[in-house]
């Protein structure tokens, strides 16, 4: 599921609900003309050349630290770029390198997030796109923010919502590559989309929940993330497709920089106890990546998310990290970095030596729900007939509650009987596996093995 939209918690829009049910008559006409006037005004306000420069770093306050958020570098490997650190947030510490569990709607699917705490999970990733549509940021804000709403004491990160919107508009790299194959065979298949318009102002799309029109702008995304109240927030960026011309990529990086600058202004006007990471762009083009690093590291962001198109496969991602990671500030100027949407075991093992701090993906938990279990010997597919009478645990070396209490035969039976408990148990084991693996990796870096 390389770089798939589903890997970042994308749910496809359902049905074709109407945009809105306007009242008939004069009121409706008036509302329409007002909307047209507002659109025209916005179009004029945001009209700019595709290559317009973003505001210079001098337009922002100095690139200083925060008293509620900082990165503590504990150990730098002499053998590679790998490092061990601690991200201090208002809701506690995140040990790095660390796995970040994706709780799209503020919940791990089929698993109480408190069980994630027991597994050692420190940072949880919630998707603004989904929370924006259901239950809505105002509902979460009234509850006192995400931490209170879902009753979590540990750190939370939210994204801008842009990834899901652009995946709907363009498809993910995975979709794109598959689409290309299909289009070769069958003469073209258009990706499903409910995106209405992407402009300098932002991205307008149709809600999959109730069909209403939603305009996601750099400012509205930050406001939504203020209402959600996560410890770490992410600015809106434009996610172009993988197959893109050099000129289109250049324009996209320029727009992303303008959007990130707008996001940062909005954030700095009301920081609260939130840190904002920039999103480094440029696809697999080294000149564009360098340009993105140079501009964004000069702005007062609190960390770096590695985003944009991350390549068509793992080899291309590693090539990108090899080039990109040494460009980021080190030593006392070091800030935490986060690889967006990639957290399979193999990618983590290959990316850690380049100095990546945190990884998020719903992939390890999702494969659990489908019966694939992570073990030191590789993946185990528990639905296979050979486990029908296997009374041993998933992994004799695993100390998780599932391995301590249940056999493969029992879990196999639960899947066959379609008991939802099967999802819970497999999700829990895989979450433990990821957290244990990260703890082991941290030890190996400190021991000089990585």
* Sheet of 195-198, strands arranged across: 195-198, 203-206, 213-216
x-marked contacts with Zn ion along 110-129 as a string, rule CB under 5 A: --------------------
Beta bridge partners of 304: 278, 337
- When asked if residue 348 is in the footprint of Zn ion (CB under 5 A), the reply is no
Stretch that binds Zn ion, among 9-17, 155-163, 263-271, 398-406 (CB under 5 A): 398-406
Task: Decide: 407 and 389 in contact? Cβ < 8 Å.
Answer: no
Min dist. Cβ of residue 408 to Zn ion (A): 11
Length of the chain: 450
Catalytic residue check, 159: yes
For Zn ion, give the closer residue by CB, 5 or 402. Answer: 402
Catalytic residue, from 175, 285, 302, 360: name it.
360
Stretch that binds Zn ion, among 50-58, 272-280, 421-429, 435-443 (CB under 5 A): 421-429
For Zn ion, give the closer residue by CB, 249 or 402. Answer: 402
Tell me if residue 297 falls in helix, strand or coil.
helix
Min dist. Cβ of residue 438 to Zn ion (A): 15
Min dist. Cβ of residue 401 to Zn ion (A): 8
Tell me if residue 391 falls in helix, strand or coil.
coil
Q: What's CA 348's distance to the chain center, in Å? A: 15
- When asked if residue 408 is in the footprint of Zn ion (CB under 5 A), the reply is no
Catalytic residue check, 118: no
Task: Kindly state the tokens that stand for 295.
Answer: 């501009």
Stretch that binds Zn ion, among 40-48, 65-73, 409-417, 426-434 (CB under 5 A): 426-434
Listed residue (136, 160, 158) closest to 210, CA to CA:
136
The residue within the footprint of Zn ion, chosen from 278, 334, 403, 422 (CB under 5 A), is: 403
Catalytic residue, from 159, 237, 302, 395: name it.
159
The residue within the footprint of Zn ion, chosen from 133, 203, 279, 398 (CB under 5 A), is: 398
In 3-state terms, the chain is what percent helix, strand and coil (to 5)? 45, 15, 40
- When asked if residue 400 is in the footprint of Zn ion (CB under 5 A), the reply is yes
Task: Decide: 340 and 351 in contact? Cβ < 8 Å.
Answer: no
Listed residue (447, 329, 444, 446) closest to 75, CA to CA:
446
For Zn ion, give the closer residue by CB, 70 or 383. Answer: 383
Cis peptide bond prior to 135, omega within 30° of 0: yes
Cite the active site residues: 159, 360
Binding site for Zn ion (CB under 5 A): 398, 400, 402-403, 429
């Amino acid at each position: 599921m390389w770089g798939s939209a589903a890997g970042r918690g994308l749910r496809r829009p359902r049905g074709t609900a109407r945009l809105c049910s306007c009242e008939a008559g004069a009121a409706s006409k008036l509302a329409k003309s007002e909307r047209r006037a507002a659109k025209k005004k916005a179009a004029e306000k945001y009209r700019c050349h595709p290559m317009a420069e973003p505001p210079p770093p001098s337009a922002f306050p100095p690139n200083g630290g925060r008293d509620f958020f900082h990165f503590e570098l504990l150990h730098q490997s002499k053998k590679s770029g790998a490092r061990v650190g601690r991200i201090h947030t208002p809701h506690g510490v995140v040990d790095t390198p660390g796995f970040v569990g994706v709780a799209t709607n503020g919940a791990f699917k089929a698993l109480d997030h408190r069980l994630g705490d027991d597994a050692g999970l420190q940072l949880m990733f919630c998707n603004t796109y989904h929370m924006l549509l259901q239950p809505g940021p105002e509902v979460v804000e009234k509850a006192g923010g995400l931490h209170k709403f879902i009753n979590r004491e540990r750190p939370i990160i939210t994204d801008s919502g842009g990834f899901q919107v652009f995946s709907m508009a363009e498809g993910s790299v995975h979709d794109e590559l598959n689409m290309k194959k299909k289009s070769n065979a069958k003469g073209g298949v258009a990706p499903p989309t409910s995106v209405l318009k992407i402009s300098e102002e932002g991205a307008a799309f149709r809600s999959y929940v109730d069909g209403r029109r939603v305009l996601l702008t750099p400012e509205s995304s930050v406001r939504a993330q203020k209402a959600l109240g996560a410890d770490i927030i992410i600015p809106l960026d434009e996610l172009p497709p993988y197959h893109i011309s050099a000129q289109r990529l250049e324009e996209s990086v320029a727009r992303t920089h303008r959007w990130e600058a707008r996001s940062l202004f909005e954030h700095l006007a009301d920081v609260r106890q939130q840190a904002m990471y920039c999103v480094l762009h440029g696809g697999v083009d080294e000149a564009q990546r360098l340009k993105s690093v140079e501009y964004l590291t000069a702005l007062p962001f609190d960390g770096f998310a590695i985003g944009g198109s991350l390549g068509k496969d793992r080899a291309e991602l590693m090539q990108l990290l090899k080039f990109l990671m040494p460009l980021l500030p080190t030593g006392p100027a070091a800030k935490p970095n986060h690889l967006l949407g990639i957290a399979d075991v193999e990618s983590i093992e290959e990316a850690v030596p380049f100095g990546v701090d945190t990884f998020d993906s719903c992939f390890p938990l999702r494969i659990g729900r489908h019966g694939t279990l992570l073990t030191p010997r590789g993946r185990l597919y528990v639905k296979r007939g050979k486990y029908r009478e296997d009374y041993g645990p998933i992994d004799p070396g695993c100390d998780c509650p599932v391995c301590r209490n249940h056999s493969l035969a029992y879990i196999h039976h639960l899947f066959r009987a379609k008991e939802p408990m099967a999802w819970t148990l497999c999700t829990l084991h895989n979450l433990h596996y990821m957290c244990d693996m990260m703890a082991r990796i941290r030890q190996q870096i400190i021991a000089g093995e990585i």
